[in-house]
Structure 1
Amino acid sequence: MKQDQPYAAGAMIAGYAAIVAFTDNYVRVIAEEGGLWQFHAMRGAIALGLIGLVAWVTGQSLRVRRPWGVAGRSAIHGLAMLIYFGALAFLPVAQVAAGLFMAPIFVLVLGRLLHGRRMGLWSVLAVGLGFAGVLLVLGPNAVGGASVAGVLPVVAGLFYALGNMATRDWCEGEGALVLLGGFFGALCLFGCVGMGVLWLWPVDVAAGADGFIARGAVWPSGTFLFWTVAQAVGSMVGVGLMIRGYQVTTAARASVYEYALLPASAFWGWVLWAEGVTPVAGLGMGLITLAGVLIALAPQERSPVASLQ
């Protein structure tokens, strides 16, 4: 029987949160001159190379057992990350991460709607707390005229939830490196397709971060290359720590630790860009975290919600 190591798991997942929150804050720097599609194409290619290197060094197999399941899951998770990183060009990381962490809530709701799964009292309470929390974090964007940027994090959380459900339903028995490779492969493919479309049908591009989504391929500067490589390496190291954390403690406890990404994102936003978190937004993050804790610790909800950045 494997020994439970909750403190080690907490330290590793806290490391994951610190690394990912730091690198994600620099997407706004990439967005000033580069485009979303080129960023994902290059980041995905670098990550795939690193995955191949890890597989070769460790002797792990990259054989895909369920090609269509892995492809479908990769496409859904890849779409979630396209939306997530698109939003990072316009919004603070803590706000975008809060929307992404609605994924466990959506898993519950979709499980009820699509599969008729029973929701207990604690699950219903978690859903209510989570939605209230995200409304507080997103503020007027979520309840007023709602700019597209304001609701993007929640949309990313919805697709992330669908990808998590696909992981369980379509990809049983697949290795972690296979799923990670499929994820980054999908992002690389999306990036290449996006650059191709914008090359064939160019559109007017706004200056700076406002043109991040509409900008096609550009000659990369040293800053763009540095932070794109940092993103790829940071994602690989961070996700590796997170996966290891899940291996040394229970899935329920590890999934609670993942919510460290919210305060880590707020911390780096404050340190790097002097972005504060309002009391209302802080309360919203607290409610989202509490909802995740209730879901993770409820007896009927023991499956992990895997993170991929």
Structure 2
Amino acid sequence: MIDDQEARRRQLIGVACMCIGVVAFTFQDLIIKGISATYPAHEIVFVRSFLALPFTLVIAHFETGLGRLKTPRIGAHLLRGSVLFLAYTTYYLGIAALPLAMAVAISFAAPLFITALAGPLLGEKVGRVRWFAVLLGFVGVLIVMKDGLGMLEWAVLLPALSALFYALAQLHGRYIGATESASTMAVYINLTFFLLSGLAGLLIGNGAFSEWSHPSLTFLLRAWSWPTTQDFLLMLGCGVAATIGNYCLSQGYRMAEANLAAIFEYTALPWAILWGFLFFAQLPGYSTLAGVGLVIVAGVTIAIRERPRRAPLRGNEA
């Protein structure tokens, strides 16, 4: 009984962390979309990561002590950080060209990827009902993508690619989370982002390849420039939001089942719709909402099937 109560407590804490982390990241998305017409993506990530590092170190100090940062699994941390760097970069390139709610809706493929990959990568059992929900969810994502194909062509593929990278990173986070704290993972994420975005700046930050008109390519290849005071403060806001988001999501995936935690990333949609309407006068179309509806139905189905259960008999798993 005590073990069951402790498991439920951890699940609830994990879910709460997921919701807080999602709000933080949608706030960051709002800022990045707002300044995407002025600075390249890797410069924003570089400044954001540089500013976020002190915050993550403070959190690590109070949670476990800085001594825990010395770990034999540095390679695993850097691998996860690199995959997350690809996930967030492709997502940022997507939101530069897409309405915010559409980009978030397509990124909802991430929990579906997590569910589909949880079996082969983590050994978690995924039965017929959840497989059906995954397929239903992917149909919804395809509907949303079709809604965007008419006006922005290949840009709708960027959040989908981001979702795949993100799913792989979060499953890897659950694997290393058995021995590593959330703050340790957050520190190494920011460190990896800082190093890789700095490398990108050295390679393409001079603007030599910026002769493109598409918003996503321009956002990637634009030359670095010194930010204004206002934009620097916005990037600082990104750093704070990223710190809170990375910590909370890492904690959420450590404390809750991977599939269950992933479902609460869907709470990003109402925030994305709100920010898009208030700041960019954008509202999702009916087909986008219909596609998202299918994804949410799939997500709720998976969440219900993922409630903690006592060792089910073989053949009775969903």
TM-score range, shorter chain: 0.7 to 0.9
Unpaired runs of at least 5, structure 2: 310-318
Q: What whole-Å deviation, never above 9, does each CA across 1:123-148 have from its counterpart, x for those lacking one?
A: 22112211111122222445x79722
In 2, the alpha carbon distance for the partners of 1:198 and 1:106 equals 31
Indicate the residue corresponding to 2:46 in structure 1: 41
Asked if 1 retains the 8 angstrom alpha-carbon contact of 2:173 and 2:250, the reply is no
**Partner of residue 55 from structure 1, selected from 37, 53, 60:** 60
**Partner of residue 186 from structure 2, selected from 175, 180, 185:** 180
Q: Check 1:294–1:272 CA distance in 2 against 1; reply closer, same or farther (3 A cut).
A: same
**Partner of residue 199 from structure 2, selected from 182, 193, 197:** 193
In 2, the alpha carbon distance for the partners of 1:113 and 1:8 equals 27
Indicate the residue corresponding to 1:307 in structure 2: none
RMSD between superposed Cα atoms in Å:
3.4
In 1, the alpha carbon distance for the partners of 2:63 and 2:176 equals 26
Asked if 1 retains the 8 angstrom alpha-carbon contact of 2:109 and 2:163, the reply is yes
1:66 matched to 2:73: yes
Asked if 1 retains the 8 angstrom alpha-carbon contact of 2:174 and 2:253, the reply is no
In 1, the alpha carbon distance for the partners of 2:207 and 2:39 equals 18
In 2, the alpha carbon distance for the partners of 1:261 and 1:228 equals 21
Asked if 1 retains the 8 angstrom alpha-carbon contact of 2:106 and 2:156, the reply is no
Indicate the residue corresponding to 2:287 in structure 1: 280
C-alpha displacement at 1:54, in angstroms? 2.1
Q: Which moved more, 1:10-19 or 1:162-171?
A: 10-19
Asked if 2 retains the 8 angstrom alpha-carbon contact of 1:4 and 1:250, the reply is no
C-alpha displacement at 1:223, in angstroms? 3.3
Matches within 5 A, 1:118-267: 119-141=126-148, 147-170=153-176, 172-199=178-205, 202-205=208-211, 209=215, 211-241=218-248, 254-267=261-274
Q: Check 1:268–1:98 CA distance in 2 against 1; reply closer, same or farther (3 A cut).
A: same
Unpaired runs of at least 5, structure 1: 303-309
**Partner of residue 290 from structure 1, selected from 281, 291, 297:** 297
Asked if 2 retains the 8 angstrom alpha-carbon contact of 1:140 and 1:146, the reply is no
Asked if 2 retains the 8 angstrom alpha-carbon contact of 1:5 and 1:248, the reply is yes
Q: Check 1:297–1:209 CA distance in 2 against 1; reply closer, same or farther (3 A cut).
A: same
The SS at the match of 1:183 is helix
C-alpha displacement at 1:9, in angstroms? 7.2
Greater per-residue helix proportion: 2
Q: Check 1:68–1:251 CA distance in 2 against 1; reply closer, same or farther (3 A cut).
A: closer
In 1, the alpha carbon distance for the partners of 2:169 and 2:189 equals 10
Q: Which moved more, 1:52-61 or 1:70-79?
A: 52-61
Indicate the residue corresponding to 1:305 in structure 2: none
Q: Which moved more, 1:148-157 or 1:254-263?
A: 254-263
In 2, the alpha carbon distance for the partners of 1:67 and 1:249 equals 24
Q: Check 1:168–1:241 CA distance in 2 against 1; reply closer, same or farther (3 A cut).
A: closer
Compute the TM-score of the two structures, normalised by the length of structure 1: 0.83
Asked if 2 retains the 8 angstrom alpha-carbon contact of 1:63 and 1:178, the reply is no
In 2, the alpha carbon distance for the partners of 1:132 and 1:228 equals 36
C-alpha displacement at 1:174, in angstroms? 1.1
